[in-house]
Copies of this chain bind each other. A is one copy, B any other.
Amino acid sequence: MNAVEQSVRASNGTCEAGPAELAEPPRARRSIEARLIERLLSHLGNPPIEFLLWNGERVSSSGAAMAHQLRIADRATLFTLFTDSQLGFGDAYSEGRISVEGDLVDFLETVYKSAPRKEASPSLLRRLVNRRRAPRANTLTGSRDNIHRHYDIGNDFYSLWLGRTMSYTCAYYPTAPTTLDEAQVAKMHHVCRKVQLQPGQSVVEAGCGWGSLGLHMARHYGVKVRAFNISHEQIVYARERAQAEGLSSQVEYVEDDYRNISGRYDAFVSVGMLEHVGLENYPDLGRIVNRCLPRHGRGLIHSIGRNYPAPLHAWIERRIFPGAYAPSIAEMMQIFEPWDLSVLDVENLRLHYARTLRHWLERYEAASERVKSMFDEKFVRMWRLYLAGSVAAFTMGTLQLFQVVFAPRDNNEIPLTRAHLYQG
């Protein structure tokens, strides 16, 4: 233990001060970095983590050595954590200026676990910060740009870790040992049962990813599907898949914005698009949904969510998902309430997303050399942090996953119970 460590440890957890400490107050001997880190740790709820600095100095809130360690390459990196902690951490991790000793998910969960509980009424400062962090606009062209930046980075890349179905949304694990591919198929059945698809019916899908749900609905439920997406790469992939599987006449993939959906359908489904719609467009999405559905119609919207309104993690919104936002349930209701749509069922699948993401992360790590050859080391680290951080966020409950089933107010053909979701 070096002198700096001694001083750092002496400054904490000492209930009774001995003569040595009285003669030589410990605060005076701590570095400015140590004192700043302690303030940061205190702000984070004093998680049991330890900072390992470039000069050999070690800092933790209790002064004790910790299992979870964060290695900081230089002073400038440390200081970015104080100026913009979320963005600073993410960028520095991506560039290797920050590294984590041991398991990244464990480390992040440890940090999340200590986080102070939500302020019941956020301070004015917090509200101003949140306002400043409004996501990028989701106008027609803004959305196209935002979506292009995430979903068009390469189907080959995504196929390395999304599994056979190429579903890039929360899977559904009927039992714990379910595999990723099984859970993605189970999710699609769960969605189809929730909207009670019957052979010969029509479905419109808003945001179809690589097209797996549309194909699943056509194959297993005998419905006709029109699926909208503004990611060019995904649409091309989905069309090829429909062709290869002989389902082109049943599933039409439309490269267009959900705002241009027209026509009437027995069911509306949207799995993992709402995160990209933007809060300001929710009533408009509701208008489109309402226009689509006849009296006997029903719909499902599946989205990442929150327990209360809060901006997405700044680094995720800036570097991974431009324009994205995870709404609270009350915010989601801005889709339905203006149009008198009845919410029939809300299911929170948070722990399913934690599992899905763990499965993705395992596959991603197994393919990391391939990812590095396709992009570079920074990209590998960036996506590792995004996936690991998401596992931690869903495990610790800072993110939720809501599936909302709804119908026009006077649809009385809805099933009496949800038992049909759990049969067979």
Contacts and interface: CB of A to CB of B under 8 A. Distances in A.
Interface residues of A, number: 53
Nearest to A176: B416
A351 B339 CA distance: 20
B410 A397 contact: yes
A121 B339 CA distance: 9
A399 to B, nearest CB: 10
A409 interface: yes
Nearest to A309: B337
Interface string A323-365: 0000011100110111111111111101110000000000000
Given A412-B395, A417-B174, A333 B342 contact: no
A410 B308 contact: no
Interface in A392-424: 395-398, 400, 409-412, 414, 416-419, 421-423
A118 B290 CA distance: 12
Copies of this chain present = 2
Nearest to A409: B397
A307 B336 contact: yes
A329 B340 contact: no
A348 B351 CA distance: 23
A96 interface: no
Interface of A: 113, 117-118, 120-121, 172-176, 283, 287, 307-309, 328-330, 333-334, 336-348, 350-352, 395-398, 400, 409-412, 414, 416-419, 421-423
30 contacts: A118-B339, A118-B340, A120-B283, A120-B339, A173-B417, A175-B416, A176-B416, A307-B337, A307-B341, A329-B329, A329-B333, A330-B330, A330-B333, A330-B334, A342-B348, A342-B397, A342-B400, A343-B348, A344-B347, A345-B347, A345-B348, A346-B346, A351-B414, A396-B409, A397-B410, A417-B422, A418-B422, A419-B422, A422-B422, A422-B423
Ranked 3 nearest A-B pairs via Cβ: A346-B346, A330-B333, A397-B409
A113 B348 contact: no
